[in-house]
Structure 1
């Protein structure tokens, strides 16, 4: 099953830490975000693609942002 979710975040807001729902990527359509997982973090801006780690993680908006989350779930 393939699922797409459009996420809009205001600057300074976040999706709190949660489990990975399956293999997933996040395409930043607009803005600038930071993906955090444990002690690791990655920043991305408009046009960048993040691979979601297979662990608990959170997403923080550095500025107003729109992100297209794509999840591939098996089973």
Structure 2
């Protein structure tokens, strides 16, 4: 494991997942349609965060449908 955390930012263009072991994540639906993150609907304009809890998270999947997501996470 690296000594320093790495910040990664992306505009998701296809379905995917946050990798197992991430320490923090913020996801915003920047599109015009509903997306699904971790099995829960994320409406246009809504955001959700997975705050630092002292250990890494399990992988979190996301499905764009007809929408777009802006994702920031720390590993």
**Within 5 Å, which residues of 2 pair with 1:1-75?**
1-9=6-14, 14-15=15-16, 18-30=19-31, 31-36=33-38, 41-52=39-50, 54-61=57-64, 63-73=65-75
TM-score (norm 2): 0.64
Gaps of 5+ in 1: none
**Superposition deviation, residue 68 in structure 1:** 0.6
Based on CA coordinates, which of the two structures has the bigger radius of gyration?
A: 2
CA distance in 1, matches of 2:61, 2:50: 10
Higher normalized strand content (fraction of residues): 1
CA distance in 1, matches of 2:16, 2:28: 15
TM-score (norm 1): 0.64
CA-based RMSD of the aligned residues comes to 2.4
